[in-house]
Amino acid sequence: VNDKIKQGMICENIVYNALIDYENQGKERYFKMKKRVSILLVMCLVVCLLSACGKDNKNDKEKPTKKDNSTEVDNDISDENELYEQLFDINNPVSIQIKISDEELDKIQEDYEKYDRKNSKSPIYRMAEKVVISIGDEVYEIEEVGIRLKGNTSRVPVYDEETGEPNLSHYRLSFNETFDNEEYYGEDAKVWNSEEERQARKDRRFATLKGMEVKWNRCYDDSHIREIYANDMFRDMGVLSQHVNLCSLGINGENYGVVNIYEPVDKIFIERNLPESEQGGDLYKCGWTFRPVNYIKSSVTYGIEDKAAGKFYNYDLKTNEKDSDYSTLINMLDVLNKNDVSKEDLESIMDTDYLVKFLAVSYFVGNPDDIRNNYNNHYLYFLKDSGKAIFIPYDNDRCFGMTYDWNPEGAGMTDVSPYSEDCESTGRSQVNPVITKTILGDDAYFKDAYADALKKVAESDWLTDAKFNEYYETAKQNYESVVVPSIEFANADNDMFKFSLEGKFTSGDDANMSFSEYAKRILEAYKEG
């Protein structure tokens, strides 16, 4: 409103000065003209005030805008879905530039230290002044975006605690953070002018998303596309999987190199991928805690994660937090842990057609940190209408021969049988009943269906150099010029950031295998059974 008043005053001064010059042409004509202009100015000022106070204007700033401010992004769902498709299309070069003050970066550092001392991780989003997202030739600006560190064993502080040098870190962005939680922000908590304005921020989305994950290439994937490729492979084979894309990341004008961006697995993800009748079920994130998630009822925990209190669960509920009774999960665990479980029992708690696809693709992806090999890195969702469980893969940064810094099995998972009765990452026998009671053993109820699913993947073009190299050449063309960061990081070797199909950044047992070599070896292991 003050800006509109100032504009009116400036306009009046310009007109008045013009009229002074005009005065020499005759007093009478001058006063008549001044009276008319004054009336017009009052009318213009009223219109400006009304437009500044209007409801539509209040919400406009909560929409991401084109950088030239000529056109606002339409919040129509069809347009947002189109933007989502563009964001995760590997053919479109994507850039995210984050502007954040040193004070807010220091707060992220302090948050890390505070919660790390409690063996927890900070839930607090600090405020980035502006995030500029480029998709091809289109550029969008979003003001006041939440940002925090992300990761379990991969989480590191913003700055190295000994040298003070910056670290490459995983981040989570939030487009709808309100910054008004006094417990987190204290005196700095944001005060909203109205509940309507606050709600507009809560409703703010970019490309239908409330936020996104941003992860650096900590396994030094020289192709930069293996996790994208794995997730696309899952989807093509009928398994729900989050979209991933490459992105050039910059923070305060410095190039942080090429990173991956991920859509969150959340309520929006479920609504995008499932029919309405199957939406609204319980979604759990199944990840690493002090006890592995192995679906043995006596050894697992479930609940709603509370980072502030340091409470974490094997099954972290992500939907229906206020009204879930956990009954579908409890029933699943009860059935899986029966001494005598029938085929009908298993079919009543899991979509077994979906399960064999999930396990077959997972085998060829070769992640040693997944549901089968480390009881880790997946989501569990219960279809609303049927109550049956489906599994959603997650965090496949170690796939297709990526063994840098961790190679538990010794050969990049390429000498493991699809019917192995071991849990490769623990060196112990397989005890996960989701595996043991479905596909292992001569009498396994779904062994034949699993064999058919394996055959379909093996005969597809996903394990061919031609398909993989097509992805690679696209990524290289879009990002090779920005792949090397502009600054040195305490926890990364800038010399290892490049585009290559060779795979071997390092020597020895933990050297990353090329995709071509991995595909040849895993197909041999599959044929040997």
3-state secondary structure at position 247: strand
Q: In Å, how far from its chain's centre is CA 84?
A: 13
Query: What DSSP state is assigned to residue 109?
Result: H
Query: What DSSP state is assigned to residue 172?
Result: E
| 150-154, 436-440, 504-508: least confident range | 504-508
Contact 263, 209 (CB under 8 A): yes
* Confidence (pTM): 0.86
Provide the percentage of residues in the chain whose pLDDT is more than 70. 83
pLDDT averaged over the chain? Answer: 87
Q: Is the per-residue pLDDT at 343 higher than 90? A: yes
Q: Give residue 212's pLDDT.
A: 98
Can you state the angle between helices 226-236 and 465-479, rounded to 10 degrees? 130
Token pair, residue 38, equals: 């004054």
Geometric angle at alpha carbon 243, from 214 and 487, rounded to 5°? 25
Q: Is the per-residue pLDDT at 406 higher than 50? A: yes
Q: What is the mean pLDDT of residues 336-356?
A: 96
Q: What is the mean pLDDT of residues 351-365?
A: 98
| 295-304, 373-382, 496-505: least confident range | 496-505
Q: Give residue 66's pLDDT.
A: 64
- Name which of 307, 335, 357 is nearest 462 in CA terms: 357
| 42-46, 301-305, 439-443: least confident range | 42-46
Contact 416, 409 (CB under 8 A): yes
32 CB neighbour count, 10 Å cutoff: 11
Q: Give residue 308's pLDDT.
A: 86
Contact 209, 175 (CB under 8 A): yes
Q: What is the mean pLDDT of residues 463-477?
A: 98
Q: Give residue 321's pLDDT.
A: 96
Q: Which of the four pLDDT bands, split at 50, 70 and 90, describes residue 45?
A: very low
